[in-house]
Amino acid sequence: ELEESLILADLGVETAAKATAALRKTIRERHITKTEEARSALKEILTDMVSVGSAELDLSTTPSVVLVIGVNGVGKTTTIGKIAKQLCDEGKKVLLVAGDTFRAAAADQLEIWAERSGADIVRQHEGADPASVVYDGIQSAKTKGVDVIIIDTAGRLHNKTNLMNELNKISRIVERELPNASREVLLVLDGTTGQNGLIQAKQFKEIAGVTALAVTKLDGTAKGGIVIAVADTLGLPVKFIGVGEKAEDLMRFQAKDFVDALFE
């Protein structure tokens, strides 16, 4: 029954089975007989499963680079805006790079977030080569002494080869122009897409060297279990949780608080 409820909470079959097996073992080892003790043991197990790596982005160099990827509509641009707001509020100089050149509206949306957060923005015309926008962004960041460069991208996964080529090209420019910079590849997942999100995440992990995750839209109908499923299955750290459309609706991920909230 427990395994079933965990699956219903979006943990996925694999992670639910793993959690249940771990709980069975703990119950035996600690001679647990009370429901309340079993509940805390399960919380500990889930907290361990979701605690992968550091909960903070590595922004240790000036500049550092965060490349943000994910399928269309998951919340990349919004998450970038929210992260920019947090970093600017901490006194960091942030530059947003409009690497989604597929539609002019994408850069317009990023520009609104730049104004809202106090970040700078580098953009080009619709249809421009994203790698060339990234190149411009890096040059601008170097002259302005920017602390963090955040790169927005388009998320068209229908053609995996194209997307992979585009992301590789961007990565090569960053590598060449900023060889010593801290770099994160932040994959954004829509929490309401449940197990589909997990499949997307696996594909992106294969093609794009993902280093960190952000899970969005956990304010809506999403069941938080997906966060545990992705962290555990992919072995990637969750760094942010999106809980709304406004600038302040982004939480830095805290494993224990998150699991406690799941049980409420």
Binding footprint of Mg ion on the chain (CB under 5 A): 76-77
Closest to 215 in 3D by CA, of 247, 183, 237: 237
The dihedral through the CA atoms of 136, 138, 140, 143 has a sign that is negative
77-116: which residues touch ligand GDP (CB under 6 A)? 77-78
Which is nearer to ligand GDP, 19 or 107 (by Cβ)? 107
CB 11 within 8 A of CB 220: no
Closest to 106 in 3D by CA, of 157, 149, 155, 159: 155
The dihedral through the CA atoms of 254, 62, 81, 91 has a sign that is positive
Task: Please identify which residue in 75, 99, 137, 225 interacts with ligand GDP, judged by CB under 6 A.
Answer: 75
Place of tokens 């499963």: 49
Which is nearer to ligand GDP, 6 or 213 (by Cβ)? 213
CB of 128 to Mg ion, least distance (A): 15
Task: Please identify which residue in 54, 73, 104, 112 interacts with ligand GDP, judged by CB under 6 A.
Answer: 73
CB of 48 to ligand GDP, least distance (A): 26
Which is nearer to ligand GDP, 126 or 175 (by Cβ)? 126
**183 is an interface residue for ligand GDP by CB under 6 A:** no
CB of 110 to ligand GDP, least distance (A): 9
225-254: which residues touch ligand GDP (CB under 6 A)? 242-245, 249
Burial class (CB in 10 A: 0-12, 13-18, 19+), 33: exposed
**72 is an interface residue for ligand GDP by CB under 6 A:** yes
CB 154 within 8 A of CB 144: no
Place of tokens 């429901």: 35
Residues in contact with ligand GDP, shown as a per-residue x/- string from 191 to 220 under the rule CB under 6 A: -------------------------xx-xx
User: Which span (75-83, 134-142, 160-168, 177-185) binds ligand GDP, by CB under 6 A?
Assistant: 75-83
- Angle, vertex CA 91, rays to CA 85 and CA 97, nearest 5: 50
Closest to 126 in 3D by CA, of 102, 110, 149: 102
Which is nearer to ligand GDP, 144 or 246 (by Cβ)? 246
Per CB under 6 A, residues contacting ligand GDP are 70, 72-78, 155, 216-217, 219-220, 242-245, 249
